[in-house]
Amino acid sequence: MRVALALFAASAFLAAQTAPKRYAAPKVWDDAALAEWATPIPGINARPGHFSAKEYYAAPLDNYRAYPVYHPDREPAGYWEALQKKRPEPLIETGKLRTKAEWIAEGKRVWQEFDVPIFRLYDAESISLARSREFIDKSGTFVERDGKLAAYRWIVTPKGVALTLVECASCHSHYMDDGTPLPGAGFNRPVTGPIDRMIAEFNRAAFPGDSFPQMLYRQFAVPWLAGDIHEKIKAMSEAEITAMFAAQIPGVIDRFNGSTFFLTKVPDLIGVSERRYLDHSATHRHRGIGDLMRYAAMVSYADSLDFGQHRMLTDAQRVIPYRVPDDALYALSEYIYTLRPPPNPHRFDETAARGKRVFEKSGCAACHTPPAYTNNKLTLAAGFQLPDHHPYQPDVMPISVGMDSALALKTRKGTGLYKIPSLKGVWYRGLYGHDGAIASLDEWFNPARLQDDYVPGGFKGYQVERRAIKGHEFGLDLSPTDKQALIVFLKTL
């Protein structure tokens, strides 16, 4: 009997030691972690400001599940009727201990359902449009392989059923040829449908008292910059603003603190766990999963728009309208860390082997170092000189590759620096350069892009048809055979 009890106790002890560990989510908004998180901005001698932890946690909690919106011809029988009877359910159960696998599983659902609350539309007309075959087809709203409308969700709140837009997946979902979404990569389909109504609702809620031009000016103005191009927004007509937004193409975006004139390519989140900085211009450090959580919160709903002595919002506007639980942000970040590229159809053959030798002989690996194919360092934007006291000096290479410096020096995302990007996955991304001006690797290595009369294959610009795509001239002088072999190799990464 004693032997049996001893064996049972030993077995229980071993089981306890080998059972997956359960743990709670870390706190996302922490004053100490925020203090030196952002990169200093040239021209103001300061880092961007942030809401305090006290302000952050005083914001109202929003925590509701969302459900797919189907094309009317693909909606399951009884689906809409069942949705009307649903009660609000939490996006995530808070305060619960979970294993890593459980956090990741929850994070996948958060990725699919985390929405933009101030985009929600409860009115009957908007909901009717989202269920209208004629409107969906006419607007060109992209339908995924399983019949779901890309980017949209129904959400059930105490106010009823609303149409909403998912936060992360709406921009970071790349659709393969068969309509299957690739989570994490930048979007390559236009978000159409009722989006204009949602943007109008957002403008009303987030910028009370502002006209549309004033609201745009607050989002993008760089008041400390002499000759700031965004000053012209104040005097633009509605038709001119519409034309400015019409110049955008899928895959590039005018982000808060970015620019409607100098757009940025939506970054690929696949492999972000290997990156030391976030954003093309390295606006924030990535020291661990807490920084990714903070970044998700900040760009979604918690950006103070404070820059040194420049406060871009009025007192009425400078509020955090809502926040999601720390559990949701942690689960989301754990899931993002697991994202992987799709199977690569490009095989490593003799031509690719030759291309690899060209890559090595040309010195590409100095910056694009295997196996991550980036050295995770920063390069100087053309015209920027690094101050002696810059905190990231050890990570800054003392060279500039001459890329267009508008984003890095003429926007509030400007740091004077650019990340050295990873080359992994270049075969599926579709746009190249921080502004998405280049549409293919063949175009990237075409020396004609340096000429002022060049027509970019990607984003051209507002009222722009031709412009030079200068910088990063490495590889432009290779022989046609070596150049093609290099491209073949890069597509295998």
| Domains of the chain by residue range | 59-208+316-338
pLDDT at residue number 199: 86
Which residue from 65, 52, 48 is spatially nearest to 325, judged by alpha carbons?
A: 65
Amino acid at 56: Y
Identify the weakest region by mean pLDDT among 15-19, 33-37, 155-159, 434-438: 15-19
How does residue 14 score in pLDDT terms, banded at 50, 70 and 90?
A: very low
Question: CB-based contacts of 22: which residues, under 8 Å, 6+ apart?
Answer: 97, 98, 99, 102
Q: 253 near 239, Cβ under 8 Å?
A: no
Share of the chain above pLDDT 90, in %: 84
In this predicted model, what pLDDT tens digit does every residue of 265-300 receive, in sequence order? 999 999 999 999 999 999 999 999 999 999 999 999
pLDDT at residue number 177: 84
For the cut 60, the answer to whether the pLDDT of residue 11 exceeds it is no
pLDDT at residue number 453: 96
The b/e string for 33-69 (b: 16+ C-beta within 10 A; e otherwise) is bbeebbbbbbbbeebbbbbebeebeebeebbbbbbbb
pLDDT at residue number 12: 46
Give the mean pLDDT of 69-95.
96
The 8-class DSSP code of residue 383 comes to T
Q: What is the pTM of this model?
A: 0.93
Q: Which two three-digit tokens encode residue 162?
A: 């609303």
User: DSSP letter string over 239-251?
Assistant: HHHHHHHHT--TT
Give the mean pLDDT of 110-127.
95
Phi first, then psi: give them for residue 394, nearest 5 degrees. -60, -25
In this predicted model, what pLDDT tens digit does every residue of 370-425 receive, in sequence order? 999 999 999 999 999 999 889 999 999 988 999 899 999 999 999 999 999 999 99
Q: 182 near 174, Cβ under 8 Å?
A: yes
Question: CB-based contacts of 367: which residues, under 8 Å, 6+ apart?
Answer: 374, 375, 377, 379, 397, 420
CA gap 56, 53 in Å, rounded = 5
In this predicted model, what pLDDT tens digit does every residue of 449-466 receive, in sequence order? 999 999 999 999 999 999
In this predicted model, what pLDDT tens digit does every residue of 227-272 receive, in sequence order? 999 999 999 998 999 899 889 999 999 988 999 999 999 999 999 9
Burial category of 474 from C-beta neighbours within 10 Å (exposed 0-12, middle 13-18, buried 19 and up): middle
Q: 95 near 330, Cβ under 8 Å?
A: no
CA gap 463, 440 in Å, rounded = 23
User: DSSP letter string over 260-318?
Assistant: SSS-EEPPP-TTGGG-SEETTTT-EE--SHHHHHHHHHHHHT----EETTEE-S-TTT-
For the cut 50, the answer to whether the pLDDT of residue 152 exceeds it is yes
In this predicted model, what pLDDT tens digit does every residue of 296-334 receive, in sequence order? 999 999 999 999 999 999 999 999 999 999 999 999 999
How does residue 60 score in pLDDT terms, banded at 50, 70 and 90?
A: very high
Strands (E), 373-415: 378-380, 396-397
Share of the chain above pLDDT 70, in %: 96
pLDDT at residue number 17: 57
pLDDT at residue number 266: 94
For the cut 80, the answer to whether the pLDDT of residue 19 exceeds it is no
Q: What is the mean pLDDT of the chain?
A: 93
How does residue 204 score in pLDDT terms, banded at 50, 70 and 90?
A: confident
CA gap 268, 270 in Å, rounded = 6
Give the mean pLDDT of 426-433.
92
pLDDT at residue number 8: 52
pLDDT at residue number 193: 86
What is the three-class DSSP state of 409?
helix
How does residue 2 score in pLDDT terms, banded at 50, 70 and 90?
A: low
pLDDT at residue number 138: 92
For the cut 80, the answer to whether the pLDDT of residue 27 exceeds it is yes
For the cut 50, the answer to whether the pLDDT of residue 13 exceeds it is no
Element (H, E) at 223: none
Give the mean pLDDT of 339-359.
96
CA gap 392, 385 in Å, rounded = 13
Long-range contacts of 221-225 (CB under 8 A, 24+ apart): 221/312, 222/43, 222/410, 222/411, 222/412, 222/414, 223/310, 224/43, 224/44, 224/307, 224/308, 224/310, 225/43, 225/410
